[in-house]
Amino acid sequence: MSDSKDVSRQASEPYDQLALGLSLDDSAVFENFFTCEGNALALAKLRDLGASSEEGDFIFLWGEGSPGLTHLLQSACHHGARSGLSAFYLSLKERDHLAPDIIEGLESLDIICLDDVDAVAGLADWEASLFTLFNRIKDARRTLILSSRLTPANLPIALPDLKSRLQSGLTLQVHELDDKQKRDALIMRAGLRGIDMSTGVADYVLSRAERGLPALLNVLDRLDESTIKQKRLLTIPLVKATLGW
């Protein structure tokens, strides 16, 4: 997620320069998103978005905890860009650093991904801007992907017409990984970096680190750097020395 300085820079630049969104994480791609029963359908639907936006789509993803919604939305932007489409990502958690008119004109792009919609629920100016954008995207037959911790029906939206619009698309729940799946995801992500992480090391990390997947991947960043600097294999003693456990 970008800081306020990045967001201010985004807000002042034209959308043709924002096609990929300056806040995109280069590592957020479908290829390294761990697939399990709880997220397979959402992943498949996003992968199947057409190579053109002629038909348009509206997908609403929701999930509690840390199910990887941001990763999926940013992956959709990268995926679209590789197909020659213009794409835009914005987390609405950044609302305090933005004005609602930041989303005006986004219907000119092919794929629009707005993360954390629940962050602006109940805010009249943001709801009005979202409602206008939604209608323009529909008329332009573009693709809109939204995410939230809550279902569209449970979002505390004050504007009835917007609440109705949010319930009109394909709504998919994305489930947070269980501990075994987090271990397997950690091993997979380590392997993609060229790191051989054993199940024993992964279990050790899981037993001591914060359990959310973003926090686990931050731990992996530190371990990756340590293995490179020390030119050592990833072992429990190295984990202890690196993380002070």
Q: The tokens 């939305």 sit on which residue?
A: 73
Q: Taking the chain (245 residues) in consecutive chunks of 10 residues, what is each chunk's mean pLDDT?
A: 33 40 76 93 88 71 93 94 91 90 94 96 97 96 96 97 96 95 96 95 96 91 94 95 94
pLDDT on residue 241: 95
pLDDT of residue 23: 66
CATH class of 179-243: mainly alpha
Q: How many of the other CB atoms lie within 10 Å of CB of 27?
A: 16
Host H or E run for residue 58: strand 57-62
**Domain 4-173 in this protein, CATH class:** alpha beta
Single out the residue of 103, 110, 50, 119 nearest to residue 77, CA to CA: 110
pLDDT in the model for residue 12: 32
What is the predicted pLDDT for the residue at 54? 58
> Per-domain residue ranges for the chain?
4-173, 179-243
**Bridging pattern class, strands 143-148 and 57-62:** parallel
Residues 3, 16: Cα–Cα separation, whole Å = 21
pLDDT at 55: 62
The pLDDT, as a whole number, for residue 65 is 87
Please choose, from the candidates 112, 37, 126, 129, the residue with its C-alpha nearest in 3D space to the C-alpha of residue 73.
112
Burial level of 150, CB count in 10 A (0-12/13-18/19+)? middle
Rounded Cα distance, 110 and 53, in Å: 6
Please state, in angstroms and as integers, the Cα–Cα distance from residue 128 to each residue in 33, 134, 215, following that order: 34, 10, 35
- Phi then psi for residue 19, to 5 deg, are -50, -40
Euclidean distance between CA atoms 131 and 137, whole angstroms: 10
